[in-house]
Amino acid sequence: MSAGKSRTRLWFLWHSWLAMPLWAFLFFVCLTGTIAVVSTEIMWLVDPSMRASGEGEPLPPSALIAAAEGSTPGARVTSLTWGGSHMAVGARIALPDGTFATAWVNPVSGVVQGLSGNNSFRQFVRALHGWLLTFPVGWYLVTLLAIPLLGSLITGLVVYKKFWKSFYQPRIRWRQAPRVMLGDLHRVAGTWSIWFIAIMSVTSLWFLIYLALIHLGMGLGGGKPPVLVAREDIPVAATPPKVNPNAILAAATAALPDMRLRYLGLPGTAYDPASVIGSSGQTPLLPDFIRLNPFTATVIKVEGGLDGASGIELTRTIMRALHTGDFGGLPIKLIWFVFGLVMTTLVFSGMLIWVKRTARATVDAVRRVKLAEGSSNA
Amino acid sequence: MRKLLASKAWQRNKFHLSALMMLVPLPFLPGYFSAKPIFAPPEIHRAVSVGPFPITLVTFDQAPHRGPAGDLVKDYSIRLQPADLDRVRGVFLRVGKPRNLRAAGALGFGNPYEREAEVAMPANPTGTEELWLTVEDWTGTVHQTSLPLAEVLGGKR
């Protein structure tokens, strides 16, 4: 055997050993992550109260807030979230027992179509995927998978030298023996998801490093002082002044006219500004934040895009957006979902290949031992 | 021969052992879905009066933890009387007496019925620190009071 060939064998061994002992765990994390990408959409499919037709003139925020606050005694709306024309507006309500719930309000009729508690399916899948419901131990267990994942990608590319062929000549021999078919599937799926695996392993590695640094007392910092309403701008009154959400939204829309509206946050205290979040699409991956004085409905600050944010803050936003695929609406989410499925298949097919090969190798080994035993007995 | 079979089964199946990782979330499932967390640490409750406003201060009986910037912080929740919600325009918490209103400390935010404040903690407490509560009402009047930090610090003593 030539030196080059034996080196390839060594890389191949590395490739096999990196994922195999962990395959079931990695499979579980890939699968739950894939579901987490479309968890909101799954909730939308299951729960009719989250749906809206998208037809008709949408009501102003004040009407939606009044409807949501009328749904439960003592409820106070803290924010409204728009998920697209197919979705009801999610009004987050603070409840007297200190918890929060979401009221789903039809944007056209203003009817509260349903209430969901804080423990939604979406939160559950995220917690299961991200930290196995136990923080921070689970977070470390999951993010540590970034290392074998990155290793599998690199060793896979070294072993499968002509991987670029799979881009223009993808070949899966469906009719051949399962072992051949699985090998083809593994190589083609792996090649087509190189970019995706790279994104997932790098972002997961970031999540690992980020939390480890915090726990080591070496936080990366980068936090900006929050935007607050200046004390002299807060009116002095016997009763709190009424805040006009319609004027706030109008002022924000005037500041960034081509923005896709996502979020309207109402002040919880006198010092909190009102916030409007949207995507103007000027900088990919980065949303725009507009902070407003809630009493006068004037813009205090427009944040977002590349200006003004620290490197750490940008990294945090971009890493999260890239990991979750939540930065370009439904089309991007669906791409992330499909490649999440491909990656899950990759883990499973890798395991099957190993099992089939190991099974054969084991049978061979046992036969050899039997033969040896037989000959020694004779 | 039996030994050989056992070793064969082990050789074939040892790589599926990582499936056991899926058992990790199981003990946390009931806690996740119950309204009151099962594994939540015990809480410390303290009733304080800040001027005319009775307040219940609640925190976990746990040592301070590291915030995202690496600094030592502790979370407090501030419960006002429901009737006072629209009279109070801000509640601030600070270790040590605030020199002025601009440095009144961490502002309670979130659910108005149960505001949360993330308060910066001294790295080496001497045990004589005071936690200062500042409540400002909508007429601009400021009310202050303090209590020994040791009473609401939690964790090992």
Query: CB within 8 A of A213, min separation 6: which ones?
Result: A219, A220, B70
Which has the higher per-residue pLDDT, A206 or A259?
A206
* CA distance to partner chain B, nearest, from residue A211 (Å): 9
- pLDDT tens profile A136-161: 899 999 999 999 999 999 999 998 88
- Chain B residues within an 8 Å CB radius of A354: 15
What average pLDDT does the segment A259-276 reach?
Answer: 91
In this structure, are A287 and A348 located in the same domain? Answer: no
Residue A359 has pLDDT above 90, yes or no: no
The verdict on a CB contact (< 8 Å) between B89 and A362 is no
- Chain A residues within an 8 Å CB radius of B35: 99
* CA distance to partner chain B, nearest, from residue A56 (Å): 33
Q: Whole-angstrom Cα distance, residue A302 to residue A289?
A: 6
In this structure, is residue A148 part of a structural domain?
A: yes
- pLDDT tens profile A122-133: 989 999 999 999
In this structure, are A285 and A348 located in the same domain? Answer: no
Mean pLDDT is highest, among A214-228, B29-43, B104-118, for B104-118
The verdict on a CB contact (< 8 Å) between B15 and A96 is no
- Short-list B24, B40, B94, B112, CA closest to A272: B112
Instruction: Check residue A312 and give its pLDDT.
Output: 81
* CA distance to partner chain A, nearest, from residue B21 (Å): 6
What φ, ψ does residue B50 adopt, rounded to 5°? -110, 100
Which residue from A100, A213, A358 is facing B12, i.e. has the nearest CB?
A: A358
The verdict on a CB contact (< 8 Å) between A94 and B111 is yes
Total beta-carbon pairs less than 8 A apart between chain A and chain B: 139
Comparing A214-218, A220-224, A312-316, the range with the smallest average pLDDT is: A220-224
- Short-list A309, A93, A311, CA closest to A206: A311
Nearest CA in chain A to B33: A119
Which has the higher per-residue pLDDT, A375 or B77?
B77
In this structure, are A36 and A171 located in the same domain? Answer: yes
The token pair at A90 is 């999610």
In this structure, are A272 and A210 located in the same domain? Answer: no
* CA distance to partner chain B, nearest, from residue A93 (Å): 9
In this structure, are A32 and A133 located in the same domain? Answer: yes
Please give the angle made by the CA atoms of A254, A256 and A259, to the nearest 5 degrees: 120
Residue A61 has pLDDT above 80, yes or no: yes
* CA distance to partner chain B, nearest, from residue A123 (Å): 10
B82 touches chain A (CB under 8 A): yes
In this structure, are A189 and A238 located in the same domain? Answer: no
- Of A277, A309, A341, the residue that ends a domain is A309
In this structure, is residue A263 part of a structural domain?
A: yes
ipTM confidence: 0.81
In this structure, is residue A238 part of a structural domain?
A: yes
Which residue from B35, B68, B113 is facing A96, i.e. has the nearest CB?
A: B113
Specify the DSSP class assigned to residue B69.
T
Query: CB within 8 A of B112, min separation 6: which ones?
Result: A76, A94, A268, A269, B80, B85
In this structure, are A143 and A24 located in the same domain? Answer: yes
Residue A17 has pLDDT above 50, yes or no: yes
What average pLDDT does the segment A47-53 reach?
Answer: 92
In this structure, is residue A8 part of a structural domain?
A: yes
Comparing A211-220, A321-330, A336-345, B59-68, the range with the smallest average pLDDT is: A211-220
Q: Whole-angstrom Cα distance, residue A292 to residue A298?
A: 5
Residue B45 has pLDDT above 80, yes or no: yes
What φ, ψ does residue A62 adopt, rounded to 5°? -60, -35
B126 touches chain A (CB under 8 A): no
Nearest CA in chain A to B116: A98
Confidence band, pLDDT 50/70/90 cuts, at residue A378: very low
In this structure, are A214 and A359 located in the same domain? Answer: yes
Report the run of H or E that residue B31 belongs to, with start and end. helix B29-33
- Short-list A95, A98, A85, A133, CA closest to A115: A95
Q: Mean pLDDT score of chain A, rounded to an integer?
A: 88
Comparing A263-277, A278-292, B90-104, the range with the smallest average pLDDT is: A278-292
In this structure, are A235 and A286 located in the same domain? Answer: yes
What average pLDDT does the segment B124-145 reach?
Answer: 92
Instruction: Check residue A50 and give its pLDDT.
Output: 93
Confidence band, pLDDT 50/70/90 cuts, at residue A375: low
Nearest CA in chain A to B70: A219
- Chain B residues within an 8 Å CB radius of A369: 4
The verdict on a CB contact (< 8 Å) between B89 and A24 is no
Residue B51 has pLDDT above 70, yes or no: yes
For chain A, percent of residues with pLDDT exceeding 70: 92
In this structure, are A142 and A215 located in the same domain? Answer: yes
Determine the structural domain holding residue A7 and report its residue range.
3-41+124-220+329-377
Instruction: Check residue A317 and give its pLDDT.
Output: 86
Residue A214 has pLDDT above 70, yes or no: yes
In this structure, are A149 and A215 located in the same domain? Answer: yes
Q: Whole-angstrom Cα distance, residue A65 to residue A242?
A: 13
In this structure, is residue A49 part of a structural domain?
A: no
Query: CB within 8 A of A195, min separation 6: which ones?
Result: none
The verdict on a CB contact (< 8 Å) between B113 and A97 is yes
What average pLDDT does the segment A47-70 reach?
Answer: 93
The token pair at A273 is 């500004």
In this structure, is residue A14 part of a structural domain?
A: yes
Looking at domain B43-152, which CATH architecture does it have?
Sandwich (2.60)
Segments making up each domain of chain B, as ranges: 2-33, 43-152
**Overall number of domains in chain A:** 2
- Chain B residues within an 8 Å CB radius of A215: 66
In this structure, are A245 and A349 located in the same domain? Answer: no
Confidence band, pLDDT 50/70/90 cuts, at residue A221: low
Residue B24 has pLDDT above 80, yes or no: yes
